[in-house]
Structure 1
Amino acid sequence: MSESSEKLLVSWKGPKTKKNYFVGVLSKSDHAYEVNYKFFYNKEVVLQAEEEGFRPFVGLKDLNKEYYSEKLFSVFERRLPNQNRHIFKKIIHDYQLQNSDDVTWEYLKITKGRTATDNLSFLEPVYMDHDKLIYIGEIAGWSYTKSNNSHLEVNAPLVLRNDENNTDDTEAVEVINSNNGNARVGYIPKPFNKVFNTLLKKDYFLSGYVRSIDSYDGRPTIAVEKRVFRKDIDAKLNYLIHMKS
């Protein structure tokens, strides 16, 4: 069995500002039929989030420590429903995960681990596969733009551009519907916008397409693939990126 690894970014949304704080990184590695999990805090971000009420997770209190486990950390595993419940079985069936080696990880990745009782979610990073950047994520700000994008469909082309007139966020990256008079669909969510903002400033043309549309609120998911030079991405943003190869 070859070694492989994945990671999820642990995001906590501040109840006052609604800002997403990427408080930590959860990763999983498979090697020689063994699975190991790792978690560590993004200490600088945690200190900011604590001003809005964030507190370190139960069993993972030390901000300076890297935690390792052969099982998914209990504080995260408790977010998942019992595997015998209908909702769990439905996800496994719908995404054809019956033969997966780690259905709990896949469930966490697909559902983002969200619950109705807190502001925590687990988000996939930006991937780099050799020189290809790959990103799949929800489009932020949809609630403000959906009335202007009622005919948005899966596979519709989308274009990214810096929103230079945004006084609230100097690194904001707009998602534009090129089939609808360049209407704004929303934004690349923070802090992923930092990666794309950097590339746009280096004169990359970035585009994508609607990968899926949520059946509940119609929120679209964008997929972006682009060949880029790794050196063109600020090293300070490495925590947002996972090298696939």
Structure 2
Amino acid sequence: MRKLSNDNYEFCYTKYGSGHRKIKDALDNGYILHPAFLEISKVYKSKNLFPAFDRRLPSTDRKDFKSILTDLGLNEFSTKMDLLRETRGRLSNDTYSFEQPLRIKEDGKLHSSFFVHGMRHRNLPVDWSNWLSINDTLRLIQESSNIHDQHAVAIYTQGGKHLGYVPGFYSKAIFSLLENNVSPILKVIYKNEKSTPHWWLKVDFECEVPINEAKETTEVLTLVH
């Protein structure tokens, strides 16, 4: 999904091939098209954020809504697209999430931010958040023998504590960067052990790349399942 320069929204399915993590591969493995977007080749357009995604945002009626904005580094002037980007639109009763592609910014580096995946499966102690402080750097370690994803990239503290994984949406790209001896910087920007597991730990990703030019004209988010 993307927000265009005229403030309209577009949604379409991409990656039509049959390779790993592409739509045909997903459908063959049990993926079901989103019930609000059942035509695989259609480009859906709306003047407002699609209701199917709008409902995934924290309600402005919540008593703690301002606190949520503050925790996510947002304010009352932030847009719904900002909120969707920061929360990833995750709900407790499904596995859909919105992920922002790695983007080349003005400094010529790849950037993104994401929540660490798989933390609830790590059997972490209740005081795991004490291992970390905001702005701490983390380690990225390839797990090519991982039975679920041959491009899995594990995330560790500098002290060797295994926290979780890079989201699958990014794993192949980041695995390839590591394979080519590039050294990304992964830094803690948010932690909240009292939240649901998929909001426990958010990190900032930055990486040098040999690319000369990039232009961003739209805001893009990709829905993954």
Alpha-carbon distance between aligned partners in 1 of 2:105 and 2:182, rounded to the nearest angstrom: 18
Structure with the larger strand share: 1
Question: What does 1:1-245 align with in structure 2 at a 5 Å threshold?
Answer: 26-30=1-5, 34-42=6-14, 43-44=16-17, 45-50=22-27, 51-58=29-36, 60-80=37-57, 82-92=59-69, 95-100=73-78, 102=79, 104-130=80-106, 131-143=108-120, 144=122, 146-147=124-125, 150=128, 151-154=130-133, 155-178=135-158, 180=159, 182-216=160-194, 219-230=200-211
- Are the aligned partners of 1:133 and 1:227 in contact in 2 as well (CA < 8 Å)? yes
- Are the aligned partners of 1:40 and 1:66 in contact in 2 as well (CA < 8 Å)? yes
The DSSP-based 3-state class of the residue aligned with 2:9 is strand
Aligned residues with identical type, % of pairs: 25
Normalised by the length of structure 1, the TM-score is 0.69
Normalised by the length of structure 2, the TM-score is 0.74
The DSSP-based 3-state class of the residue aligned with 2:53 is helix
Aligned twin of 2:216: none
Cα shift at 1:82: 4.7
Cα shift at 1:166: 2.9
For residues 86-133 of structure 1, the C-alpha deviation after alignment (integer angstroms, 9 at most, x for no partner) is: 354543465442223x3x222222322223443322222222114201
Query: How big is the alpha-carbon RMSD for the aligned residues of Structure 1 and Structure 2?
Result: 3.0
Aligned residues: 201
In structure 1, stretches of 5+ residues that fail to align are 1-25, 232-238
Letter in 2 for 1:170: Q
In structure 2, stretches of 5+ residues that fail to align are 213-219
- Are the aligned partners of 2:119 and 2:163 in contact in 1 as well (CA < 8 Å)? yes
